[in-house]
């Protein structure tokens, strides 16, 4: 559903049972999700006329789950692990693109790194 609605061109792993989510050590937090900075961020987005994310029909959503961003290369090696501290805490797009370019270079013959980079 999300892939269809965003027309995302990158391969993504959909973790409906949240198994990978748990394996990456992501958790849930009412305190972090509903803190003043988060409320301010959502208020600013609405004031700017931007729409907020909506739930999909027939998808069990957990608004208290903490997010994260991960890049896994073609061999299944974790190249970036970023656990969000609050909902608006995300790596920059430039950082994600840089890691994906590094993965592309490695696929051209460079040996894989031993540990994922964390931000």
pLDDT-flagged residues of the chain (< 70): 1-2, 56, 107-119
- Six-digit token pair at 49? 């006329």
What pLDDT does 108 receive? 67
Are 116 and 76 in contact by the 8 Å Cβ rule? The answer is no
Task: Tell me how far apart the alpha carbons of residues 98 and 87 are, in angstroms, rounded to a whole number.
Answer: 22
pTM value is 0.69
Phi first, then psi, for residue 44 (nearest 5°) are -65, -40
DSSP annotation of 80 reads: E
Q: Which of 98, 103, 78, 92 is nearest to 25 (CA)?
A: 78
């Amino acid at each position: 559903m999300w892939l269809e609605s965003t027309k995302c061109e990158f391969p993504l792993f959909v973790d409906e049972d949240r198994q990978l989510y748990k394996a990456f050590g992501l958790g849930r937090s009412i305190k972090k999700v509903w803190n003043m900075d988060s409320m301010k961020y959502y208020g600013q987005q609405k004031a700017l006329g931007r729409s907020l994310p909506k739930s999909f029909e027939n998808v069990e959503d957990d608004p208290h789950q903490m997010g994260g961003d991960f890049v896994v290369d073609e061999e299944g090696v974790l190249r970036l692990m970023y656990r969000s501290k609050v909902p608006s805490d995300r790596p920059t797009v430039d950082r994600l693109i840089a890691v994906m370019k590094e993965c592309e270079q490695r696929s051209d013959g460079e040996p894989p790194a031993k540990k994922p980079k964390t931000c």
